[in-house]
């Protein structure tokens, strides 16, 4: 009888382990599926005040830039400020127009900044929460800048 009880205990233990695994997997499945669902990034989700930084080589040499702007629900800002500090031009503050020109649902897109007499073209990547985006200059000759903007 002891051998039978031992076999029965092993079967019960195996059944309990199997039921536990099935329960854990069933409970975790909705969370795993939810992690893969990313809300679409929209222009309206970017509405609000932003502060961005850029560092790199530009028309005034190596330097840094601080961008402050407020986007409307169409992805446009017309009353921002652009403060730069560069090797050749020193510290300069200009008015800034910042516009999101294109935005895909995955957060990738393009933007344009107009400050002083310059127009700068950027590729951007917005995070899923629509509160941070990377900025990189890849099209304008002589400008090699990259940075990040954070929603305030």
3-state DSSP percent of the chain in helix, strand and coil, to 5? 25, 50, 25
What pLDDT is stored for residue 38 in this prediction? 74
**Do residues 132 and 149 lie in contact, with contact meaning Cβ atoms separated by under 8 Å?**
yes
Residue 130 and residue 81 in one domain: yes
Domain count, the chain: 2
At 95, which CATH number? 2.40.128.120
CA distances from 65 to 12, 75, 81, 87, 131 (A): 67, 21, 10, 12, 20
pTM of the complete model: 0.75
Residue 22 in this model has a pLDDT that exceeds 80: no
Asked if 73 and 145 sit in the same domain, the reply is: yes
- Give yes or no: residues 67 and 87 share one domain: yes
Q: Does residue 78 share a domain with residue 118?
A: yes
Taking 90 as the threshold, does the pLDDT of residue 11 lie above it? Answer: no
User: Which of 141, 116, 142, 131 is closest to 52 using CA atoms?
Assistant: 131
Residues 99-131: pLDDT tens digits?
999 999 999 999 999 998 889 999 999 999 999
Say if residue 66 is in the same domain as residue 19: no
Share of the chain above pLDDT 70, in %: 76
Task: Based on the fold, state whether residues 15 and 65 are members of the same structural domain.
Answer: no
Confidence tier at 138 by pLDDT (50, 70, 90): confident
- Any residues with CB less than 8 A from the CB of 30 and at least 6 apart, and which? none
My answer on whether 21 and 62 are in the same domain is: no
Q: Kindly state whether residues 33 and 108 are assigned to the same domain.
A: no
Q: What is the pLDDT of residues 31-70, one digit of tens each?
A: 545 556 778 999 999 999 999 999 999 989 999 999 999 9
Query: Are 4 and 27 in a shared domain?
Result: yes
Q: Which residues pair with 145 in a beta bridge?
A: 56
Dihedral sign (CA 124, 126, 127, 131): positive
Task: Decide: 130 and 45 in contact? Cβ < 8 Å.
Answer: yes
DSSP 89: T
* Residues 127 and 57 grouped into a single domain: yes
* 33 and 92 part of one domain: no
Place of tokens 């800002």: 77
**Domain carrying residue 4:** 1-37
Same-domain pairing of 16 and 79: no
Q: Sorting pLDDT into bands at 50, 70 and 90, what band is 91? A: very high
Whose structure tokens read 């400050």?
115
- Residue written as token pair 């961005």: 52
């Amino acid at each position: 009888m002891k051998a039978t009880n031992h076999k029965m205990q092993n079967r019960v233990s195996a059944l309990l382990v199997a039921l536990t695994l099935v329960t854990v997997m069933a409970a975790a499945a909705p969370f795993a599926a939810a992690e893969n669902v990313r809300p679409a990034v929209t222009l309206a989700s970017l509405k609000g005040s932003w502060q961005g930084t850029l560092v790199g080589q530009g028309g005034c040499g190596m330097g840094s830039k601080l961008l402050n702007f407020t986007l409307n629900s169409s992805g446009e800002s017309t009353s921002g400020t652009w403060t730069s500090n560069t090797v050749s031009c020193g510290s300069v503050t200009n008015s800034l127009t910042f516009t999101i020109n294109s935005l895909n649902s995955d957060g990738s897109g393009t933007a344009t900044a107009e400050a002083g007499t310059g127009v700068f073209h950027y590729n951007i990547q917005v995070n899923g929460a629509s509160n941070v985006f990377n900025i990189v200059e890849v099209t304008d000759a002589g400008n090699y800048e990259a940075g990040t903007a954070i929603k305030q």
